Structure 1
Amino acid sequence: MLETAAPPADQLTRSSRFQDRIQQKVSDDWERPAPTREQLRRDVIGTAVVILIGAIALESSRGFGAMGGEDRPVWLQHLVLALMILPLALRRRFPVTVLLVSSALFLGLSMYMPALSVQVVFQGAYFAAIYAGVAWARNRRLLRLALLLVITGMALWLLLSFTVSNAYDSFMEDLFETQEDDPTARGLLPPMVSYAIYSALINAAYFGGAIIFGLTSWRSAHQREQLAHQAEQLKAQSAELAHQAVVNERLRIARELHDVVAHHIAVIGVHAGAARRVLVKKPETTATALQTIEESSRQAVEEMRSLLGVLRASDEGEPGTGDGGTHRRPEPGLAELDALVAEHRANGLQVSFSRIEDSPGALDSVSAPLALSIYRTVQESLANVRRHSTAGAAVVTLRTGTTGNVRWLEVETVDDGRPRPGSTSGSGFGLRGIRERAALHGGVAEIGPRAGGGWRVRVRFTQR
């Protein structure tokens, strides 16, 4: 069982290691931005403050004998301590250089003045130099090389202190004297082994802590920049989405306006022509045509007011109003198709309308946006028959069905006419609007002449 399960685990481990390598490469390629002027100014001020604190701490420690055995002048002791602290003023501007310089100073000054090297400020200054080098180095490969040199140098320094330094000999002599006077001072391990292990642990904690804190700071800066970059991307995407939403709404309003105006203007044009021809001979027919023109124009104005109310919506999200305080009317849907067909019949176009459902109540589940698109498609199709065709009749069919797991709804308008003499082809916005409505619902549009004569507009919408 274990042997069978091992290969997937190995593959998972290799995949994880590969992702880690990719992430490491991305991290290596990232460079931390250079410090600002304000940060550099604070570094200089902070270094001066630390030098002052170090001087006070040095004099305080002298009072209880911490500098015993050091016979060099006091001013020289303060100078050596200040020299160890001074590179910190440039720790963020030249992090790797300060790391190397501080390492050299730490080694040289510790050997030159051992009593001073145990001062907290002296040790803390070197810790800060290592931390700053890891946290601010922009060239991570150069940093790793510098850390390798520093750690190697410190290891050699510890080795020399155990083998060559007189300080170790005096330490061992004092230790043997203490153990002879007090047998309980002896440990489990020999003195030299105990001291070596203790020194290794102290130095590992010292260097390891500085490196870990530096890496944490560097990664935090990296994450902050990534988050800022992502925030900028989200802001740009939000602006793009808002712009796209405005464009889509403008296109929707343009389609609606075209369909409304085209439909009513077609009706007005037909009845105006009829009224002109029978103006003298049949006054009653002329009056009926003018009444139809009046009603159609009024309906066109009301629908345009309702539609343009979208553009006048208030900031509080209240429904917009048109001129005269008219509120937006409900958008037409499948229920209004019968009235649309009846209107065209009344205007002289013989329209046959049929509904075919693959299952009972299939048309009742059609969403409002899809129903509006179907209504506008039929409206534009019939308006085009009136304007551009010699046909006196048209057939509108609304059917539902399923292909695989996808439900669809199809509307088809056909006629048997020919292009009307003297009729222009129009702007093409109506047919473009039909295709856009089909694409909006994931459907397709088939628009063009029929093989046996006439014109067909067939649109299949996908129901979600």
Structure 2
Amino acid sequence: MIETQPSGTDTGGSAVPGKKPAVSAESLRGLAGRIRTFRLSLPWHAEDDWERPAPGPEGYRRDIIGVGIALLLSAVMLEFMRGFAFGDGDIGNRWVQHLVQSSIFVFLVFRRRFPIVVMLLSSATFVIVGITMPPISQTIGFQAAYFTSLYSAVAWARNRRALWLSVTVVVAAMFLWIIVGFTLSSSYDEILQTFNMSSNDPVGLFAPLTSYVLYSFMLNAAYFGGAIMFGWNSWRSAHQREQLADQAVQLEAQAADLARKAVIEERLRIARELHDVVAHHISVIGIQAGAARRVLEKRPDAAAGALQTIESSSRDAVAEMRSLLGVLRSSDAETDGPAQREPEPGLEEIPQLLADYRSNGLDVKFHRAEHEPGVLENLSAPLALSVYRTIQESLANIRRHSTAGSAVVALRSGSTPAGPDTPPLRWVEVETVDDGRPRQGTGGTGYGLRGISERAALHGGITDIGPRDGGGWRVRVRFTLR
């Protein structure tokens, strides 16, 4: 027995000359998948779980009107045919013939409510009329009515498995009836007499009987096949329309969900901004309040200056809190008006931020360096805001949690050289260091440092936050320039 192995595996020996390469497992799985896809694409496997919804009262009303009009036209066509196609030996008088023809139209009123039942009853009627009154079964109206019953069954049946079983039975019964009719009811001489030819007359490619049988077979195959094909296309189109409608609803729900998530993310961002603003101003207020308490009796002027700083910081804090909370309280669906917000701070506001801390007793030195002219001036607004908030939070942490009296803030840009497999990377880095010790009893929540890390991750950056080897604390964040 030959053992088949997937392609690309090592069998431990050389290939045998003259043998074909083994078929891979991936190829077999692909072939099985294509066969399964083809099998599921067949009508009796297509979306068996979906049911086409039945029409409402208005649809049934249109069916009744349509059947009435079709019955009237069929009666007119029957009268036309009576003048040249019916002989004296035909069964039934005029009213019987009209009554027999209208029998199949009665079922069509319910063709969309009970499609399979209507098809079966119409098929039985067609066979009975074809046996008892063949001229009626060959009229255009009668044939069209039966075609409509087949079409409606395939187009509207909700139980697809029962439909295809019924269609198979009907088609098999009809062709069996045709075969029986040729073998029992018709003879070779009757067919020749019907077409006014003899066995010695010149014929086409086939003999007269063979040609007639093949012609009848192909005609009925086109008749039944056309009804089934048009009905299946109608059902599939309805299914696709419903799928598109469901997809539109899903897309609308997804769009609403994305909008809601965008609002939530924006409000979370604003909440972080609010934390940074409040932490900065409360830190300044606390420091100035302590200074004012110590010099209140000995140096009233210094105490007044500290109280003035507290007043200014508290007003700024309240103003910024109102602006941010106004956005948080506003709704994306209903709002009294556009939220009043000041422009977000950027690199231009860093000197004023440092000046505020210097006026509050923290000696802050600032260094700025660019590896290319204009890099820092051309930072995007979100990145500039992240740089500003990083410096603000770092200095606020120094004032709250450190004994340091001075700090150094460095803002610089640079680039890493390209490697064999990596392109050059441009970055902007902000670093804040101090030489103090942790202040006892001032443990924080950690939200500020977490906010710095989140801002760095937002811009594809990295952080280095922690104590320095020589004493003090370092906050260094490197943002990637895209």
Shorter-chain TM-score above 0.5: yes
Of 390, 401, 408, the match for 1:377: 390
The AA in structure 2 aligned to 1:36 is: P
Corresponding residue SS for 1:29 = coil
Q: Tell me by how many angstroms 1:187 deviates.
A: 5.2
Flag structure 2 segments of 5+ consecutive residues without an equivalent.
1-23
List per-residue Cα deviations over 1:19-68 (Å, max 9, x = no partner). Answer: 54566698333423330332345445544554454444434533445475
Q: Tell me by how many angstroms 1:12 deviates.
A: 8.9
Instruction: Determine if the alignment matches structure 1 residue 441 to structure 2 residue 459.
Output: yes
Map residues 84-163 of structure 1 onto 2, 5 A cutoff.
84-163=104-183
Deviates more, 1:151-160 or 1:227-236: 151-160
C-alpha distance in structure 2 between counterparts of 1:150 and 1:391, whole Å: 96
**Residues 332 and 375 in structure 1, CA contact (< 8 A), matched pair in contact too:** yes
Corresponding residue SS for 1:351 = strand
Deviates more, 1:449-458 or 1:102-111: 449-458
Of 402, 405, 409, the match for 1:389: 402
Of 271, 275, 287, the match for 2:288: 271
The AA in structure 1 aligned to 2:220 is: N
Of 394, 410, 419, the match for 2:429: 410
The AA in structure 2 aligned to 1:439 is: A
TM-score normalized by the length of structure 2: 0.79
C-alpha distance in structure 2 between counterparts of 1:451 and 1:111, whole Å: 107
**Residues 313 and 321 in structure 1, CA contact (< 8 A), matched pair in contact too:** no
Deviates more, 1:246-255 or 1:397-406: 397-406
The AA in structure 2 aligned to 1:165 is: S
Map residues 234-383 of structure 1 onto 2, 5 A cutoff.
234-304=251-321, 307=324, 320=338, 322=340, 328-383=341-396
**Correspondence for 2:479:** 461
- Aligned identity (percent) is 55
Q: Tell me by how many angstroms 1:386 deviates.
A: 0.9
Corresponding residue SS for 1:414 = strand
Question: RMSD in angstroms over aligned alpha carbons?
Answer: 3.8
**Residues 398 and 410 in structure 1, CA contact (< 8 A), matched pair in contact too:** yes
- Give the 3 Å change call, closer, same or farther, for CA 86–443 of structure 1 in structure 2: farther
The AA in structure 2 aligned to 1:194 is: S
Instruction: Determine if the alignment matches structure 1 residue 225 to structure 2 residue 242.
Output: yes
Flag structure 1 segments of 5+ consecutive residues without an equivalent.
1-6, 323-327
**Residues 161 and 167 in structure 1, CA contact (< 8 A), matched pair in contact too:** no
The AA in structure 1 aligned to 2:304 is: A
C-alpha distance in structure 1 between counterparts of 2:41 and 2:314, whole Å: 67
C-alpha distance in structure 2 between counterparts of 1:308 and 1:259, whole Å: 14
Corresponding residue SS for 2:298 = coil
Q: Tell me by how many angstroms 1:427 deviates.
A: 4.5
**Residues 447 and 457 in structure 1, CA contact (< 8 A), matched pair in contact too:** yes
TM-score normalized by the length of structure 1: 0.82
**Correspondence for 1:325:** none
**Residues 28 and 141 in structure 1, CA contact (< 8 A), matched pair in contact too:** no
C-alpha distance in structure 1 between counterparts of 2:458 and 2:88, whole Å: 88
- Give the 3 Å change call, closer, same or farther, for CA 358–139 of structure 1 in structure 2: farther
Deviates more, 1:263-272 or 1:63-72: 63-72
Aligned residues: 449
- Give the 3 Å change call, closer, same or farther, for CA 236–109 of structure 1 in structure 2: same
**Residues 331 and 372 in structure 1, CA contact (< 8 A), matched pair in contact too:** yes
The AA in structure 2 aligned to 1:414 is: V
Instruction: Determine if the alignment matches structure 1 residue 420 to structure 2 residue 439.
Output: yes
Q: Tell me by how many angstroms 1:244 deviates.
A: 0.7
C-alpha distance in structure 1 between counterparts of 2:234 and 2:392, whole Å: 66
List per-residue Cα deviations over 1:131-170 (Å, max 9, x = no partner). Answer: 1121123343443333333332232233233332248754
**Residues 62 and 68 in structure 1, CA contact (< 8 A), matched pair in contact too:** no
Corresponding residue SS for 2:376 = helix
C-alpha distance in structure 2 between counterparts of 1:314 and 1:234, whole Å: 19
- Give the 3 Å change call, closer, same or farther, for CA 212–331 of structure 1 in structure 2: same
- Give the 3 Å change call, closer, same or farther, for CA 457–23 of structure 1 in structure 2: farther
**Correspondence for 1:36:** 55
The AA in structure 1 aligned to 2:394 is: S
Of 230, 241, 252, the match for 1:213: 230
C-alpha distance in structure 1 between counterparts of 2:364 and 2:473, whole Å: 14
**Residues 271 and 293 in structure 1, CA contact (< 8 A), matched pair in contact too:** yes
C-alpha distance in structure 2 between counterparts of 1:22 and 1:451, whole Å: 69
**Correspondence for 1:27:** 46
**Correspondence for 2:14:** none
List per-residue Cα deviations over 1:236-287 (Å, max 9, x = no partner). Answer: 1011011111111211221222222221222122122212221232233223
**Residues 97 and 136 in structure 2, CA contact (< 8 A), matched pair in contact too:** yes
Q: Tell me by how many angstroms 1:171 deviates.
A: 4.1
Q: Tell me by how many angstroms 1:449 deviates.
A: 4.5
C-alpha distance in structure 1 between counterparts of 2:103 and 2:272, whole Å: 78
The AA in structure 2 aligned to 1:459 is: V
List per-residue Cα deviations over 1:57-104 (Å, max 9, x = no partner). Answer: 434533445475323244433333233223323322333333333223
Q: Tell me by how many angstroms 1:190 deviates.
A: 3.6
Corresponding residue SS for 2:107 = helix
Q: Tell me by how many angstroms 1:306 deviates.
A: 5.3
Corresponding residue SS for 2:477 = strand
**Residues 263 and 332 in structure 2, CA contact (< 8 A), matched pair in contact too:** no
C-alpha distance in structure 2 between counterparts of 1:226 and 1:314, whole Å: 30
Instruction: Determine if the alignment matches structure 1 residue 62 to structure 2 residue 75.
Output: no
